[in-house]
Copies of this chain bind each other. A is one copy, B any other.
Amino acid sequence: MLEELTRAIEARGLSVGDRLPPEIEIARGLGISRTKVREALTSWQNMGIVIRNKKAGTRLAAEVVSNAIHLPLTLKIEAESMLRTHAVRRPLEIEVAGLAAVNATEHDRRIIMARVRELMASHTAGEDWRQADRRFHGALQHACGNPLFGQLIQQIQQGFNEVYEAPFGRPHIGETSIPKHLPMAEAIVQGNAEAARRLMAEILDLVTEEVRKVMVTINV
């Protein structure tokens, strides 16, 4: 839905300050209900992309960038933005790994091992392991004892996912890092904070490396 809206806006060449058609016309134009249009617009409103006023209608407050996968330029921009997000997350995730090694309860440890096993299984089965990955990292964030880390990371990632996830949604990104998850989980369960931090850093850097490769592939 957000994607269709994005495409429609790009096709019209709308930019910051411009007004969108009334909700009901958008709905008719896309052949969906006003409910869905409103949901998408509310999401954009929360992200600060549009401003809504009663009689005045809805206006763009930020530039809308499509995640159309076929455009090399767009893909490159998205790769850069992903690297940036990653750079912000990196120190947080590392801290989470270290804290989890120290603070995890017995219950946390069981969940962490269960999640990492799910991740490995999902990966070896050739499925889309992204959700399993998210759950695994979620377990770490919960185990670290400070809910603020988890909230911060999730909000940074979440805001981006909605706009930027599509092109990198294909399962092969981050694949090299998967095998490192098991040793890291074990380090956390054993309470080895130093090893946990080091392995988390290695995992994140492998992902970064793979995104960079995609960029090169695209740019050449």
Contact pattern, A 139-165, Cβ under 8 Å of B = 1, otherwise 0:
000100001101110111111101100
Q: Are A138 and B84 in contact (CB under 8 A)?
A: no
Q: Are A47 and B152 in contact (CB under 8 A)?
A: no
* Given A48-B155, A158-B159, A148:B62 Cβ within 8 A: no
A157's closest neighbor in chain B, by CB? B48
In the assembled complex, A175 has its CB within 8 A of some CB on chain B:
no
Interface bin, chain A = 20 to 34
Contact pattern, A 102-143, Cβ under 8 Å of B = 1, otherwise 0:
000000000000000000000000000000000000100010
In the assembled complex, A39 has its CB within 8 A of some CB on chain B:
yes
Instruction: Specify which of A147, A150, A151 lies most central, judged by the most chain B CB atoms within 10 Å of its CB.
Output: A151
Q: Bound state CA distance, A216 and B44, in angstroms? A: 36
Q: Bound state CA distance, A84 and B85, in angstroms? A: 15
In the assembled complex, A46 has its CB within 8 A of some CB on chain B:
yes
Contact pattern, A 33-69, Cβ under 8 Å of B = 1, otherwise 0:
0000001001100111000000000000111010000
Q: Are B88 and A47 in contact (CB under 8 A)?
A: no
* Given A46-B158, A159-B156, A147:B85 Cβ within 8 A: no
**A113 smallest CB distance to B (angstroms):** 17
Question: Could you say which residues of chain B place their CB within 8 Å of the CB of A85?
Answer: 152
**A56 smallest CB distance to B (angstroms):** 15
In the assembled complex, A73 has its CB within 8 A of some CB on chain B:
no
Q: Are B152 and A155 in contact (CB under 8 A)?
A: no
Question: Could you say which residues of chain B place their CB within 8 Å of the CB of A65?
Answer: 147, 151
In the assembled complex, A25 has its CB within 8 A of some CB on chain B:
no
Q: Are B154 and A156 in contact (CB under 8 A)?
A: no
In the assembled complex, A81 has its CB within 8 A of some CB on chain B:
yes
**A202 smallest CB distance to B (angstroms):** 22
Q: Are B155 and A77 in contact (CB under 8 A)?
A: no
In the assembled complex, A80 has its CB within 8 A of some CB on chain B:
yes
Cβ contact of A147, chosen from B47, B62, B148, B154, cutoff 8 A: B62
Q: Bound state CA distance, A162 and B163, in angstroms? A: 19
A65's closest neighbor in chain B, by CB? B147
